[in-house]
């Protein structure tokens, strides 16, 4: 049997060195740089919001998301866009294409902004509609409107024009029941509208609406009643001083355009006088 060796075995350890541990890596630097950049952009945005006016901010928004139509033939000049100004809302085009303040786009008309020129050609701007509303509702010192009259009037501006809606209340109708005979309230409202109408020269439409009748009736009188009431109001306006040539349309809508959920509610009895936008 051979002699045993008392020498200890030799053990070799291999130490693996990997990059990126601790502060030796660079990935965190990229993330930190992105964070600092985002914070800088945020503070710049906050500063710009505080240092600019509403008009300046709107101009910046329109620059990045343009809503002003650009037409290559607008203006009549020889610049890059066929004119000296790329904002065709401020220039009159040569061939009728594009949009201008005098000939607005359909989208501009649908927003109810103006749809008409501010001057020239007898057209009227929405500011004049606002003046008419204020005078009609007694918001100026030039007219005093009683609370009783105000309970029967609401106004709204639509694509068609300024709508003045006059309607029945439970205790005060505009016409005697089931007739086209106007009450004193209706006569007072007609006088008020006529006096305010002198502020503009727009054409006028008068439309009649009535509530539904019970289905047991042999014949539906709503068509004749709404039309005759519209005609009576036209005559009232004309008698109070409104020129007959201003009337563009007189119509009766029966009970086809109800305002109240209940078809037979008195709120559906109403007259609409519309100051039409100039074409």
The pLDDT mean for the chain works out to 76
Q: Of the given ranges (4-8, 43-47, 260-264), which has the lowest mean pLDDT? A: 4-8
pLDDT at residue 39, rounded to an integer: 94
Please state the domain extents for the chain: 30-64, 119-276
The better pLDDT of the pair 39, 9 is held by: 39
Q: Read off the pLDDT of residues 129-180 as tens digits, 9 standing for 90 and up.
A: 888 888 888 766 555 567 888 889 999 999 899 999 999 999 999 999 999 9
The third-level CATH classification (topology) of the domain covering 119-276 is: 60s Ribosomal Protein L30; Chain: A; (3.30.1330)
**75-119: pLDDT as tens digits:** 444 444 444 444 444 444 444 444 444 445 444 444 343 333 333
Averaged pLDDT for residues 175-188? 94
- Burial class of residue 168, CB neighbours in 10 A (0-12, 13-18, 19+): buried
The Cα 42–Cα 20 span in angstroms is 31
- Residue 270's CB is within 10 A of a number of other CB atoms, namely 24
Which of 243 and 10 is assigned the larger pLDDT?
243
Among 62, 97, 91, 95, which residue's Cα sits nearest to residue 79? 91
Q: What is the pLDDT of residue 22?
A: 54
pTM over 0.85: no
Q: DSSP of 188-233, one letter per residue? A: HHHHHHHHHHTT----EEEEEE-----TT-SS--HHHHHHHHHHHH
CA 123 – CA 118 distance, rounded (Å):
7
Percent of the chain with pLDDT over 70: 67
CA distance 186 to 267: 15
pLDDT at 229: 96
Alpha-carbon distance of 87 to 69, in angstroms, equals 7
Measured over the CA atoms of residue 154, residue 160, residue 162 and residue 165, the dihedral's sign is negative
Rg (CA), the chain: 36
């Amino acid at each position: 049997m051979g002699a045993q060796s008392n020498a200890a075995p030799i053990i070799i350890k291999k130490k693996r060195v990997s990059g990126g541990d601790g502060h030796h890596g660079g990935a965190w630097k990229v993330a930190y740089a992105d964070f600092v950049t985002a914070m800088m952009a945020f503070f710049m945005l906050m500063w710009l919001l505080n240092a600019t006016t509403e008009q300046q901010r709107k101009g910046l928004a329109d620059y990045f998301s343009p809503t002003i139509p650009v037409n290559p033939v607008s203006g009549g000049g020889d610049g890059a866009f066929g004119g000296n100004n790329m904002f065709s809302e401020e220039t009159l085009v040569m061939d009728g294409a594009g949009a201008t303040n005098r000939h607005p786009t359909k989208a501009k008309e649908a927003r109810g902004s103006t749809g008409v020129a501010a001057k020239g050609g007898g057209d009227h701007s929405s500011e004049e509609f606002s003046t008419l509303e204020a005078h009609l509702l007694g918001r100026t010192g030039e007219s005093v409107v009683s609370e009783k009259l105000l309970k029967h009037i609401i106004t709204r501006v639509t694509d068609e024009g300024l709508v003045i809606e006059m309607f029945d209340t439970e205790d005060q109708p505009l016409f005697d029941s089931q007739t086209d005979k106007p009450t004193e309230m209706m006569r007072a409202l007609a006088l008020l509208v006529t006096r305010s109408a002198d502020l503009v020269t727009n054409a006028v439409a008068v439309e009649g609406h009535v509530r539904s009748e019970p289905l047991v009736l042999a014949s539906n009188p709503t068509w004749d009643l709404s039309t005759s009431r519209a005609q009576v109001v036209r005559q009232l306006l004309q008698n109070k001083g409104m020129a007959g040539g201003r009337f563009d349309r007189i119509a009766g809508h029966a009970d086809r355009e109800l305002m109240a959920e209940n078809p037979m509610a008195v709120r559906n009895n109403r007259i609409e006088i519309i100051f039409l936008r100039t074409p």
